[in-house]
Structure 1
Amino acid sequence: MGTHLVAVVGRPNVGKSTFVNRIVQSNEAIVHAMRGVTRDRSYHEADWNGEHFTLIDTGGIEMGDEDAFQTSIRNQAFTATRECDVILFLVDGQTGINADDEEVARILRRSDVPVILVVNKIDNPQREENVWEFYKLGLGDPYPVSAIHGTGTGDLLDALVDVLRTIPAREEVEEEAINVAIIGRPNAGKSSLTNMLSKNDRSIVSDVAGTTRDAIDTMAYHDGKAYRLVDTAGLRRKSQIDQDVEYYGFVRSMRAIDRADVVLLVVDGTLGLTDQDQRVAGFALERGCAMVIVLNKWDIVEGAEAKERVRDRVAEKLQFVKFAPVVAVSALTGKNTQRIWGAIDTAFENYGKHVSTSKLNTWLADIREFGHTVTSGKRVLKLKFATQTGDCPPQFTFFANDPDLVNDNYERYLENRLRKTFDFTGTPIRIKFKRKE
């Protein structure tokens, strides 16, 4: 199926994300009254009258402001205008034209891409006279809409589709890719790693914790394989999330983990392992994801002893995900980041591994012969049969005479023996026990 890209641009707080959510009929884009909530560009599927297109939500453009983020936000927004087929330029019908609107309009008039002017926040039809002043922007007829109530969006979408149908559609190929969620505490270097692996500046990078607020998908390619990298907002304990925006970013991050095959847990090597890192690893383990631990900023951890201490702490505190390989890198310089690809591939291969029932029961015969089991009084646990009952992650079911006898130590013993024999590096495994007389 063919598709078109449609960029939604404008200054902060004109309602771009609310507009995107209205058109795609979901709450994919984070919406909040705080200005500057959207920072990276994000992509959302939509259709109207049988015409499929992708909306690109962008951060608010402020032409004169050079704060910690604004230059990157502006670059992200204008990148979207260069890659799209049509631009929807949103302005605020309640506040009228300001200097940023005029400057953005001046840039868009020089663009080769068709521009449709959208006057948002016309919540009352009697206010439509507010629209006429926007003719001064020189971008043709303005379309009055209310993103909150949906009024006027039908006429706008009719006009958009009329333009799209004059533009050759891009061929949309559903690409087989490994889904990789890049997770970790705030400011661990997730966006830098995403940009380094994908070889572009898809995510905004800053020293300010919490820069990424949404889950950002980026395609990357290595040795002929495709990877869908998802840069997520920094995860922290819910009780420490004191802004609505950050909470919604947390929810998006959890959704990204839910659809991930492999997670890269990024740990700030200069801080060592924190309680937050443990919690984040726990989130991924609960959801059954394969995992690679990335020790980032390794180039500024001074001395072999300091590095050894960090590795020892990781081994100690992340014992519950000891199946995950550890790769030490510098996302900023790119040092050793190539090693991550091999770790991802190994984890993904084992995540989908299937062990035949015959091999599994040959292995089980060796376990029985070794004689290690569980007893309680006259009751003795006997494992009769085993089979793999699931994958992604691998799941094994053991049929036993008395499953109630199984304790945590014995389950860990079986898991360790399974891993030693069949190699499940990088992936959790699930074990269940059922009664068989």
Structure 2
Amino acid sequence: MKGLPRVAIVGRPNVGKSTLFNRMARRRAALVHDEPGVTRDPLEAEVEWAGRRFVVVDTGGYDPRGEAPVAVQVVGKVHEAIARADVLVLVVDAQQGLTGLDAEAAEQARRAGRRVLVAANKVDDPARSDLAAEFYRLGLGDPVALSAEHGRGVGDLLDAIVARLPEGVEPPPDQGLEPVRVAVIGRPNVGKSSLINRLLGYERLITSPEAGTTRDVVDSRCRHEGRDFVLLDTAGIRRRSRVLAGTGGDLERVSVSKALASLKRAHVALLLIDAMEGFTDQDRRLVRQVEQVGCGLVLVVNKWDLVEKQTGTLERYEKGVRSAYPLLEWVPMVFASAATGQRVRQALTAAGYVYEQAGMRVPTATLNASLQAAAALRQPPSHKGRRLKILYGTQVAIRPPQIVLFVNDPDLVHFSYQRFLERHLRAQFGFAGSPMRLIVRAREGWDRRGAPAGPAAPPRPTRPQGGITMAESPGRSRWTVAVIGAGSWGTALAMHLADRGTAPLLWARRPERAGEIARLRENTPYLPGITLSPLIHVTSDLEEALEPPILLLALPAQTVRAWAERARGWIRPEHVVVHGSKGLEVGTLLRVSQVLRQVLPDHPEGRILTLSGPNHAEEVVRGVPSTSVLAGGDPDVQARVQQLLMDRRLRVYTSDDLVGVELGGALKNVIALGCGISDGLGYGDNTRAALITRGLAEIRRLGAQMGAHPFTFSGLSGLGDLVATATSLHSRNLRAGRAIGAGRRPSEVLREGPMVVEGAPTAHAAVRLGEQRGVELPIATAVHRVLSEEITPREAVDSLMGRDPRGELEALDLAGPKDDL
């Protein structure tokens, strides 16, 4: 973020600055609470809008006469943020009206000589935009009426900010090494903020003798020994029982929750303990939390300058701490003093070392040689005449290191022998400070007695990569299937395959995204809280992703052409390409299978299929019983893919109606947008039922003209998918429609969030396709005109309800010419 323009959000307490900051950052970066003065330390986030990048800064409430112990420091930080900003956004509460503190904050902004915008927040009802007029009295120009909570008007504010940013060449996005993210955690008042200030070399964070000064997670950047670090300051974490029974109430619970959540973002945790109090039960609980999350750990014994020392004091102290928890035997310890600066830089050196250790990969041959040596040192356990056999092992992941051991019978692996193996591997390879995951699997083809099942033993494993070991087979890929696209549906498909025992590749377009998913073993923006199976190998290398013979495409429809053009040099005739994209290409009006055939003209037509149906990723990934339909392709290819995907959690049907299945999956998104708009307007079940029913009639009319079978639209890819998408809050199209119906600008809504609202471009394409085919699509046309901001949602309803009378089945053509493509 260095070198980017800075925009500071300022204002008195409790006017919604943090809510606005989160809305602009498009994530819940700042803690939001009804209690005034929650924000203390400034928070920063990089924002991109209309082609411009800038840093937005959230500040504490401006109240020079505040009674809180840290009020003076909070005001000082506000002044610092104002002095460093290029543009100031003064947030006021339109419902409460102009106050004396608003006027004081405005005067401070005016004196700074910066460009100032007034954001009149909490105008939740568009009809009350006149509430902003009072703030003309501040003399800072036209106030922008908005609702940060609902997002209304935020796009207008961002447009105004971009118009006031200084001209100049922005630095390119950082393409260097990923910074090491270090979460600084510990009990209250152990010196976390003081340690970070000492590492940064200036008073970045507010400190106080009072416990609980830090409430939010605050990121700070620094550089040490040629490496970039991001330090995450966190709230003090007390025992859960004390938090629930304490006087901090809900605010402390939220602060502690955010502090623990920061471990999922971090590569390494610095756990601070108070040297005077020693290693407590709560410190032990925090070590366990770090171990469960899987990030690295460095133990920092702070306030070491206060300890009375004799010969051997440090050694005895260290021995006592390490004996308190098994992981601590391998964790670097730093004895430091944030107050004096003694050895504080060693904490970052240790964090960098742990980061490198957690990212180390052990070659499979070396790993198996070590496992053989371990078995020679200590014979594997046996039970009732059966002895454990470790057939082979392979490292499947890093940060934390995960090693899968394939054995004859997992039940024979006693926890004590597993602990011995971990100690042996750590002694051989290190992995200092990092939790180690040893995953025991039964090798396919071996029975529970530890003997080969069948006439011959399994082939010798060879060439492991990314955690998957395949048997030798001439010309065979190391993986059976690759999922192309690491969004919610792609991730859910990969998890479904892994749960069935198939090891998939998961391809993400951006290397940094692939690296984050591989490190966290979680796709946080799309499926937060879902831990990826160790069998899933994440990659951004397209050539590697195209090694398997079966490709499952989980890409937005508008990106399929670009991907296929990039991939066609590696796609082989034997590849089976199954796409799950639900949309029509805007420029050509082609279905996705047509796009693929156009880009890959020599690829066998019988090896291009589509997978569709009512499949919310959030439910499939949890194993909720679901159904899909597979269309297109030769019958033997269909059967092969059906067998790959189908189990008791996902039932897969087949169809020979590729046109109908693709159209149903694409057009239902348009109708779901219409249902969302209806909900946002406050209409009820009657309206939604009418839109679903008449929308299905539109889909069937267009499908019949394009050669689809009319019964297809009564099936999973038609009625089934339409009902799921038009009624469930899992549906991004329904959510977007509701926001538009509630009064937000469509252009603003469609830009939000990581997920693509497929119904928006498809509405445009469907209207043009209907015009070409001579098919009336009144609902799709109305949705398209709303999205294009030609008419308002209420005008769209009037246009639909005011159409000429006709019979229900009129114009429902059930037969038409076959699609020539």
Distance (Å, rounded) in 1 between the aligned partners of 2:150 and 2:371: 63
1:108–1:283 distance in 2 versus 1, CA, 3 Å: same
Deviations 1:195-233 (A, max 9, x none): 111223222111222211111111111121111111112
Q: Which of these residues, 252, 257, 272, is aligned with residue 278 of structure 2?
A: 272
1:348–1:140 distance in 2 versus 1, CA, 3 Å: same
1:418–1:119 distance in 2 versus 1, CA, 3 Å: same
2:23 paired with 1:22: yes
Question: What is the correspondence of 1:99-114 to structure 2 with a 5 Å cutoff?
Answer: 99-114=100-115
Distance (Å, rounded) in 2 between the aligned partners of 1:144 and 1:375: 73
Distance (Å, rounded) in 1 between the aligned partners of 2:432 and 2:307: 27
Question: What is the correspondence of 1:286-435 to structure 2 with a 5 Å cutoff?
Answer: 286-304=292-310, 310-435=317-442
Distance (Å, rounded) in 2 between the aligned partners of 1:195 and 1:7: 21
Shift of 1:374: 0.6
1:198–1:163 distance in 2 versus 1, CA, 3 Å: same
- Which residue of structure 1 lines up, in the alignment, with residue 773 of structure 2? none
- Which residue of structure 1 lines up, in the alignment, with residue 266 of structure 2? 260
> What code does the residue aligned with 1:406 have?
V
- Which residue of structure 2 lines up, in the alignment, with residue 170 of structure 1? 170
- Which residue of structure 2 lines up, in the alignment, with residue 250 of structure 1? 256
Q: Which of these residues, 215, 218, 231, is aligned with residue 216 of structure 1?
A: 218
Residues 285 and 321, structure 1, Cα contact 8 Å, conserved in 2: no
Deviations 1:337-381 (A, max 9, x none): 122133112211110111122222222232233342212221112
Shift of 1:64: 2.8
Residues 93 and 120, structure 1, Cα contact 8 Å, conserved in 2: yes
- Give ranges in structure 2 of 5+ residues lacking alignment: 447-821
Larger displacement relative to structure 2 (185-194 or 166-175): 166-175
> What code does the residue aligned with 1:217 have?
D
Shift of 1:431: 1.1
Distance (Å, rounded) in 2 between the aligned partners of 1:184 and 1:172: 36
Larger displacement relative to structure 2 (310-319 or 105-114): 310-319
Residues 31 and 245, structure 1, Cα contact 8 Å, conserved in 2: no
- Give ranges in structure 1 of 5+ residues lacking alignment: none
1:144–1:363 distance in 2 versus 1, CA, 3 Å: closer
> What code does the residue aligned with 1:279 have?
R
TM-score by length of 2: 0.50
1:141–1:371 distance in 2 versus 1, CA, 3 Å: closer
Residues 269 and 310, structure 1, Cα contact 8 Å, conserved in 2: no
Distance (Å, rounded) in 2 between the aligned partners of 1:281 and 1:114: 47
SS in 1 for 2:102: helix
Residues 272 and 313, structure 1, Cα contact 8 Å, conserved in 2: no
Shift of 1:107: 2.2
- Which residue of structure 2 lines up, in the alignment, with residue 198 of structure 1? 200
Distance (Å, rounded) in 1 between the aligned partners of 2:60 and 2:287: 30
1:395–1:126 distance in 2 versus 1, CA, 3 Å: closer
Residues 323 and 329, structure 2, Cα contact 8 Å, conserved in 1: no
Deviations 1:86-130 (A, max 9, x none): 100112233333333333222221223211122223445665555
User: What's the % identity of the aligned pairs?
Assistant: 40
- Which residue of structure 2 lines up, in the alignment, with residue 4 of structure 1? 5
> What code does the residue aligned with 1:197 have?
L
SS in 2 for 1:331: coil
Larger displacement relative to structure 2 (415-424 or 2-11): 2-11
Residues 385 and 400, structure 1, Cα contact 8 Å, conserved in 2: yes
1:111–1:397 distance in 2 versus 1, CA, 3 Å: same
TM-score by length of 1: 0.91
> What code does the residue aligned with 2:135 have?
F
1:123–1:404 distance in 2 versus 1, CA, 3 Å: closer
Distance (Å, rounded) in 1 between the aligned partners of 2:405 and 2:285: 30
Shift of 1:37: 0.6
1:302–1:170 distance in 2 versus 1, CA, 3 Å: farther
Larger relative contact order, structure 1 or 2 (CA cutoff 8 Å, min sep 6): 1
- Which residue of structure 2 lines up, in the alignment, with residue 186 of structure 1? 188
SS in 2 for 1:233: coil
> What code does the residue aligned with 1:422 have?
F
Residues 4 and 169, structure 1, Cα contact 8 Å, conserved in 2: no
1:209–1:122 distance in 2 versus 1, CA, 3 Å: same
Number of residue-to-residue matches in the alignment: 436
1:140–1:396 distance in 2 versus 1, CA, 3 Å: same
Let me know the Cα RMSD of the aligned residues.
2.5
SS in 1 for 2:439: strand
Distance (Å, rounded) in 1 between the aligned partners of 2:78 and 2:172: 23
Q: Write 1 or 2 for the structure with the bigger share of strand.
A: 1
Distance (Å, rounded) in 2 between the aligned partners of 1:149 and 1:401: 57
Q: Which of these residues, 226, 231, 234, is aligned with residue 232 of structure 1?
A: 234
